[in-house]
Amino acid sequence: MADRNIENLEEISKGYFNLPIKNNPDALEVWTKLYDRQYYNLKDKAYSLFFYGLNQLSINGLSIPKLSELNCIINKKTSWTLSPTHVEYTGADDWFRHLEEKNFVITEVIRSKENIDYTPYPEAFHDIFGHLALMCFQEYAKIVHRFGMIYNRLQTQKEKKEFAGFWWYVIEFGLIMEDNQMKAFGAGLLSSFGECNNAFSDNVILRPFDVNEMKNTPVSAHEFHQKLFIIESFDQINEALDGWK
C-alpha cells in the first residue's frame, strides 16, 4: 500500500506492477492465495470487528467480491458509496476529497503473481480486504469521514502532510487495544502478511498514541515499519481529530 503523499513513488515502484482484475486469468488465484494466508494469519491478531465485517460483506477466498454488491451492503449500513477506479495511485487531495463525500475509491487492479508479497501501489486486496470490513460500522465510518472533512480544510502543504501522517499511523497502520490485548487495526496491517507479522515481532518499537509523534514520524511504502503506535479506543482518535478543528 503506497503512502498517498509519497514524493518518490515512481522511483520506488520500479520493478513492481499490478494487473487489471478484468480479463486477468491470474487474478482469482492471487486473490485466493492472499486471502487464505492472511485470514488465518489474522485469527489471533486482528481487531474483532474486522472478522464481523468480513462476514457481513461475504468476503471469502473463493471469488473476488463484486463492487456493486459490496456497495449495496455498505451503503445500507453507513450511507457510504464505493467507486471503482483504474488509477493505481490516487493523490492525497483527491483521496481525502472522496472521503469527505463519503465515497471510498476501490482500485480495480490486483498485484501480480510475481509481486504477490509486496506492491508499493494500492490494489484491490488492500482496498477491499483491508479497508472495507471496518467500513461496515458507523463509528469507524464517521472517523474516516472526519479525516476527509478536516484534511480538505487545511491550508498549507505542511499541515496536509502532517495530517496524512496521522491518517497513516491510525487508519493504515494503527494497532488497537482490545480486551487488554494488542490487535491489528489499520488496513495496511490487515491486508499485508509481512507487515502484520512484523508488527507483532520484536523488530518494531511500539509507542503509545501520540499525535505529535505520529504526524512527524516519516512514512514509507517500501520497507517494514520500525515504529508503530497503539490506539486505546475510538474515543482517543476522535479527541485527537477534535484538535484539528
Q: What angle do CA 113, 118, 122 make, to 5 degrees?
A: 100
Dihedral sign for Cα atoms in the order 233, 237, 243, 245: negative
Which letter does DSSP use for residue 238 in this model? H
| Structure confidence at residue 244 as a pLDDT band (50, 70, 90) | confident
Residue 70 pLDDT > 90, yes or no? yes
CA–chain centroid gap for 162, Å, is 18
Render pLDDT for 167-198 as a digit per residue (tens, 0 to 9): 999 999 999 999 999 999 999 999 999 999 99
Q: What is the mean pLDDT of the chain?
A: 90
Residue 17 pLDDT > 80, yes or no? no
- Identify the pLDDT of residue 245: 64
With a CB cutoff of 8 Å and minimum separation 6, the contacts of 25 are: none
Residue 15 pLDDT > 70, yes or no? no
CA–chain centroid gap for 72, Å, is 20
Asked: is 9-242 a CATH 2.170.120.20 domain? The reply is no
| Structure confidence at residue 116 as a pLDDT band (50, 70, 90) | confident
For residues 90-99, b (16+ Cβ closer than 10 Å) or e, as one string?
bebeebbbbb
Render pLDDT for 44-59 as a digit per residue (tens, 0 to 9): 999 999 999 999 999 9
- For 127, the grid coordinates are 482496498
pLDDT (mean) for 61-71: 96
Render pLDDT for 186-238 as a digit per residue (tens, 0 to 9): 999 999 999 999 999 999 999 999 999 999 998 877 789 999 999 999 999 99
- For 241, the grid coordinates are 481529530
Say how far apart CA 134 and CA 185 lie, in whole Å: 9
Cβ proximity of 187 and 240 under 8 Å: no
- Identify the pLDDT of residue 85: 87
Cβ proximity of 170 and 214 under 8 Å: yes
- For 173, the grid coordinates are 497502520
CA–chain centroid gap for 131, Å, is 5
User: Greater confidence, 67 or 5?
Assistant: 67
Q: Considering the entire predicted model, what is its pTM?
A: 0.91
User: Greater confidence, 120 or 44?
Assistant: 44
